[in-house]
């Protein structure tokens, strides 16, 4: 096996047994990025010096100590909306093109404390808004399984980097499927943790009540390793929660009750995707799991509409800070003659700095929050959000987990949905409710349609990451 093909566990064993050094491992990835990323375009920034110096430090540690943390010396890629101190962080937006992060996100701090090696920052849809990576202000990323297709989004750069062996694992963020859908399109594992399980401190906010950071990995076992390191209470994020006290039921597939929501297999799903996901669920049944059809009426019918009110409302508030004064691009300096007053600075900086999709969502959100419309849109959406959460609470009294397709379709062609935002939004249909209800969910590879990977989504009860990881692990082995 080549170094770039190793899982976290295998790479760790190799380092401990001194079969190769951390520097050799890091170089193997840096060389591969230099050769192959010209075709895939998964990285926005390569942090060669940071990676090399950390790898050397870890080699020093290995020569002195017998035991090293499991992530020590293992190279990862970080989505470009997660801050790494002294490294450019763009959120794939022109408005932050030259922004250098002044501190580490909490998850980065935790990974650095383990001795993780950061290879670079990955491409994404601008401010995480999109499902294809084509909304990056810089360039689109391509799917390593078929370069004429999208890798999914918004964490498309991270998923493509893992699938293309351009890193050992990666971090993504998920506001409405942005970890799970690209993982599904690229044939890798993506875990969206329970809201509050991982600190959001240092994550550039898109929609704060929905955003979560999570791992994108080659195997389920790797996802668990990364999740265990990055999760937990953080005094810098008041919505984070101490998870270590929570008792997780052990998962024996024989006693497991798996719910299959009937609405997730209704209109709009590609028949081949349906076939593959259903046969995956059948395999669990053959192992003794109890499969039950369930219904999530609000979650399916209203989740996307609810998401597309709540998310833009939060976007319009969160993105107000990019005004040409506080951060990044500012039209004060370059076009002095055209700028008459402060309002001009705001308007020109934002018009030039933000892409079309970001501007569309800011306008939608501002409208939904404005006096006279707030009750009709934002408040109504919050009420439906509660009904969606109750849908899940009711169903989780009868079953332990839910299994669904991650996406109704396999990876689509580059350019296919760019002129029709609504059809792009529809590809998030099976993921939106999970974020609105704050639940954990994982996407794991389940099969292929021709050459294109298909993901199976396992949704769990709040803070039962261990359980969905256990089940996903069993699935990983039988598939």
Binding residues vs ligand GLN (CB under 6 A): 128-131, 154, 174-178, 206, 311, 428
CB neighbour class for 463 (10 Å; exposed up to 12, middle 13-18, buried from 19): buried
CB of 334 to ligand GLN, least distance (A): 31
Nearer to ligand GLN, 27 or 180 (CB): 180
Nearer to ligand GLN, 125 or 400 (CB): 125
Q: 173 pairs with which residues across the strands?
A: 213
User: Is 279 one of the annotated active-site residues of the chain?
Assistant: no
Phi first, then psi: give them for residue 68, nearest 5 degrees.
Answer: -130, 155
Nearer to ligand GLN, 154 or 165 (CB): 154
Nearer to ligand GLN, 154 or 443 (CB): 154
CB of 323 to ligand GLN, least distance (A): 22
Using Cβ positions, the residue closest to ligand GLN within the complex turns out to be 178
CB of 251 to ligand GLN, least distance (A): 27
DSSP letter string, 374-441: TIIIIIHHHHHHHHHHHHHHHHTTT-SEEEEES-SS-PPBTTTTTT-HHHHHHTTTTTHHHHHHT--E
Q: How many angstroms separate the first and last alpha carbons of the chain?
A: 21
Residue 94 sits at the vertex; the CA angle it makes with 112 and 183, to the nearest 5 degrees, is: 55
CA-CA-CA-CA torsion for 419, 425, 428, 434, nearest 10 degrees? 160
Chain centroid, CA 253 distance in Å: 27
- Which is the catalytic residue, given 42, 178, 199, 316? 178
Phi first, then psi: give them for residue 122, nearest 5 degrees.
Answer: -100, 155
CB of 273 to ligand GLN, least distance (A): 18
Nearer to ligand GLN, 346 or 367 (CB): 367
User: Is 154 one of the annotated active-site residues of the chain?
Assistant: yes
CB of 311 to ligand GLN, least distance (A): 6
CB of 186 to ligand GLN, least distance (A): 15
Sheet of strand 401-405: strand arrangement:
43-46, 117-122, 75-79, 169-174, 212-217, 189-192, 441-449, 452-459, 401-405, 257-261, 290-294
Q: How far apart are CA 58 and CA 64, in angstroms?
A: 10
Nearer to ligand GLN, 116 or 216 (CB): 216
Two tokens, residue 471: 């089940």
Nearer to ligand GLN, 115 or 355 (CB): 355
CB of 407 to ligand GLN, least distance (A): 10
- Determine contact, residues 124/136, Cβ cutoff 8 Å: yes
User: Is 79 one of the annotated active-site residues of the chain?
Assistant: yes
Which residues 6+ apart lie within 8 Å of 315 measured at CB?
127, 129, 206, 207, 358, 361, 362, 365
CB of 341 to ligand GLN, least distance (A): 34
- Which is the catalytic residue, given 21, 27, 42, 79? 79
Residue 78 sits at the vertex; the CA angle it makes with 72 and 82, to the nearest 5 degrees, is: 115
CB neighbour class for 290 (10 Å; exposed up to 12, middle 13-18, buried from 19): middle
Nearer to ligand GLN, 310 or 469 (CB): 310
CB of 206 to ligand GLN, least distance (A): 6
Phi first, then psi: give them for residue 64, nearest 5 degrees.
Answer: -100, -35
- Determine contact, residues 296/439, Cβ cutoff 8 Å: no
Two tokens, residue 431: 């993921």
Nearer to ligand GLN, 75 or 157 (CB): 157
Active site residues: 79, 154, 178
């Amino acid at each position: 096996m080549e170094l770039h093909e190793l899982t976290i566990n295998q790479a760790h064993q190799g380092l401990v047994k001194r079969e190769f050094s951390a520097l050799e491992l890091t170089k193997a990835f840096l060389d591969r990025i230099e050769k192959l990323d010209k075709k895939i375009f998964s990285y926005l920034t390569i942090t060669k010096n940071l990676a090399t110096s950390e790898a050397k430090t870890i080699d020093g540690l290995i020569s002195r100590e017998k035991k090293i943390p499991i992530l020590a010396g293992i190279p990862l890629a970080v989505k470009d909306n997660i801050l790494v101190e002294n490294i450019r962080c763009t959120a794939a937006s022109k408005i932050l093109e030259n922004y250098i992060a002044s501190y580490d996100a909490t998850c980065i701090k935790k990974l650095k404390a383990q001795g993780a090696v950061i290879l670079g920052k990955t491409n994404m849809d601008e401010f995480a808004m999109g499902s294809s990576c084509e909304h990056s202000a810089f360039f689109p990323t391509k799917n390593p399984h078929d370069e004429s297709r999208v890798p999914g989004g918004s964490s498309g750069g991270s998923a493509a980097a893992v699938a293309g062996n351009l890193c050992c694992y990666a971090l993504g963020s998920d506001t409405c499927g942005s970890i799970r859908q690209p993982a599904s399109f690229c044939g890798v594992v993506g875990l969206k943790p329970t809201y509050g399980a991982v600190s959001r401190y240092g994550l550039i906010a898109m929609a704060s009540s929905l955003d979560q950071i999570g791992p994108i990995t080659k195997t389920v076992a790797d996802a668990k390793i990364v999740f265990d390191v990055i999760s937990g209470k953080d005094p810098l994020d008041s919505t984070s929660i101490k998870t270590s006290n929570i008792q997780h039921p052990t998962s024996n597939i024989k006693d497991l009750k798996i719910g299959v929501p009937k609405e997730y297999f209704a209109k709009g799903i590609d028949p081949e995707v349906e076939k593959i996901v259903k046969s995956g669920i059948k395999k669990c049944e053959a192992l003794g799991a109890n499969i039950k059809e369930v219904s999530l009426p609000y979650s399916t019918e209203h989740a996307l509409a609810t998401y597309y009110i709540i998310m833009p409302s939060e976007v319009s508030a969160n993105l107000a800070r990019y005004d040409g004064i506080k951060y990044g691009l500012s039209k004060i300096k370059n076009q002095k003659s055209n700028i008459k007053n402060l309002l001009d600075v705001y308007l020109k900086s934002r018009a030039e700095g933000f892409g079309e999709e970001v501007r569309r969502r800011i306008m939608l959100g501002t409208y939904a929050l404005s006096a006279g419309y707030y009750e009709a849109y934002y408040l109504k959406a919050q009420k439906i959000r509660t009904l969606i959460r109750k849908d899940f609470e009711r169903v989780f009294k009868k079953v332990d987990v839910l299994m669904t397709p991650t996406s109704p379709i396999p990876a689509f062609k580059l350019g296919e949905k760019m002129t029709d935002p609504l059809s792009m939004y529809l590809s998030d249909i099976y993921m939106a409710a999970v974020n609105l209800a704050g639940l954990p969910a994982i996407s794991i590879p389940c099969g292929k349609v021709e050459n294109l990977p298909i993901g199976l989504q396992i949704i769990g009860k709040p803070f039962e990451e261990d359980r969905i990881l256990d089940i996903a692990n069993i699935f990983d082995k039988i598939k």
